[in-house]
Amino acid sequence: MAYASRIINHSKKLRNVPNLLRHDHAVLVRCFSNGAQSSVCKSEAAERERVSKFVACYHVSSGLPRNNCSRTTMRLGIPTGGVAYSRELTCSQVQSRRGFASDAGFPPHQEIGMPSLSPTMTEGNIARWLKKEGDKVNPGEVLCEVETDKATVEMECMEEGYLAKIIKGDGSKEIKVGEIIAITVEEEEDIAKFKDYSPSTSDSGAPAAKEPAAPPPKQEPVQQPVSSPEAKSKPSSPPSEDRLFASPLARKMAEDHNVPLSSIKGTGPDGRIVKADIEDYLASRGKDVSAPTPKTKDGKLEALDYVDIPHSQIRKVTASRLLISKQTIPHYYLTVDTCVDKLLDLRSQLNSLLEASGGKRISVNDLVIKAAALALRKVPQCNSSWTDDYIRQYNNVNINVAVQTENGLYVPVIRNADKKGLSSISSEVKQLAQKAKENSLKPEDYEGGTFTVSNLGGPFGIKQFCAIINPPQSGILAVGSAEKRVIPSSGPEQFQFASFISVTLSCDHRVIDGAIGAEWLKAFKGYIENPESMLL
């Protein structure tokens, strides 16, 4: 009877093996970022050992191959600002994000790491938390706003629980991707247990402290014999400098005018340097003796007055990308002047119609964007980018528009600008510019551009300038301001006035040859000087 009860008990445990395996899978699935380290405690190892024993028993009794479990493929959703990137991982490759109850007294919990919210992001800042410690969180709710290298993105919660501890508070800077920023628990009564919680760093810090302690005793005997000859050789140099004799007034004048006494030959008694020697030296160098260097009461030069402004994330990325562009892309520049009288007349007519119907006005920059998009469709070689193996030519014409804000330079994108009407382009530019100024652009608002337009003419009155290419693109158009010019008329000794703008095309010579760039500018100029053709 006892043997029968044992057999029944073991059969129940074997039937429960699939549930245990699914529980282990659930542990693997629950994570918030793809770069954070696991916080599995000692009890987790015991849990897995217990599961492995059941699995081993299950394989023996069922005859299934043992390696089937370790190669089970599963789907892992990694949250990146509301967009879940799906990637296939195996059970043997995934690190668990679940923290089990440990000897330190912490109940089961989850560590939320700084997610990678853009392809180029390596670190981020916490702009502000929208949830407080102790708040209940549900899937899809926004936990906090993360300032990435390009914009501020909302970070969403992926499962239900309670926010027990915020590790990185509002305004935290330069948090590496994967670094722990918060702790969540499943039960509300477990929140208080994480009041003094801090991520463990003992594993990484212990070996580092032991290594530097060993070398000092070995280096001391080696350095002692080397230092003694140096000390003996130094006293031999200063005697020549100490033998310079000068009157106190001469020394004061030399200090005020930064004159080295060693370069002056004294004419006083025993070769002493006197005031006349300093004046003769300054006169020979054409300096004014009566203009001493300004000094403070202590005799020191006045320090510069300055303020150190910390770099923002967008400033760091802009500086890095522009530096890479100028160092790696062979720029050349093509400039052309184009008459905009007909363009301005057409704009006035269209704005009259829009105002009558309650629409928004069209700017000259909207017309420039449209003309640039149509010219790219006509000369597709300029709508390309360089790679080491090939030149990629894009079928979509997506125009980035440079927008200057208090936080830095943003380049939101107008997608398929060649297929959109002027009213649609104008509306999108205004919306994206407002989002840029509010620092609320999302990655889809600025990624995927194939060409850039930068206009410093309209808002700032710059006549002409050369812009830096925005990699990986191969061209950028710099637009200057419109100005009235006198041009010859049809009759002799006759003239007329016309408005012109100067535009400069910056080209990547690896992709766009000079003749191709000139062809693109010719097409662009044709659309600007005959704007009716853009409406066809």
Cα–Cα nearest to 421, from 482, 360, 497: 360
User: CB within 8 A of 532, min separation 6: which ones?
Assistant: 342, 346
Question: What region does 183 belong to: left with phi over 0, alpha with psi -120 to 50, or beta?
Answer: beta
Q: Are 347 and 355 in contact (CB under 8 A)?
A: no
Question: What region does 271 belong to: left with phi over 0, alpha with psi -120 to 50, or beta?
Answer: left
Active-site residue, selected from the candidate residues 280, 341, 345, 513: 513
**Long-range contacts, 141-146 (Cβ 8 Å, 24+):** 143/112, 143/182, 144/181, 144/182, 146/81, 146/114, 146/115, 146/117
| Phi, psi dihedral angles at 206 (to 5 degrees) | -65, -50
The alpha carbon of 468 is separated from its chain's Cα centroid by a whole number of angstroms, namely 17
- Whole-angstrom CA distances from 152 to 5, 31, 145, 147, 248 are 62, 22, 6, 4, 64
Q: What three-state secondary structure class fits 245?
A: coil
Cα–Cα nearest to 376, from 500, 477, 509, 481: 477
Q: In what order do the strands lie in the sheet with 161-166?
A: 98-99, 109-113, 180-185, 161-166, 136-137
Active-site residue, selected from the candidate residues 25, 59, 331, 509: 509
Q: Are 179 and 475 in contact (CB under 8 A)?
A: no
Q: Tokens for 322, please give them.
A: 């522009």
Answer positive or negative: Cα dihedral of 66, 70, 73, 75: positive
Check whether the bond before 472 is cis (ω within 30° of 0).
yes
Cα–Cα nearest to 24, from 80, 74, 64: 74
Q: Are 521 and 503 in contact (CB under 8 A)?
A: yes
Report d(CA 336, CA 505) in Å as an integer: 9
445 is catalytic: no
| Phi, psi dihedral angles at 219 (to 5 degrees) | -80, -25
Pinpoint the alpha helices (H) of 63-97.
Answer: none
The H-or-E segment that residue 255 falls in is helix 248-256
| Phi, psi dihedral angles at 40 (to 5 degrees) | -80, 130
**DSSP string of 335-391?**
EEEEE-HHHHHHHHHHHHHHHHTT-PPPPHHHHHHHHHHHHHHHSGGGSEEE-SS-E
Secondary structure letter of residue 170 according to DSSP: T
Report d(CA 239, CA 241) in Å as an integer: 5
Q: Which residues are tagged catalytic? A: 509, 513
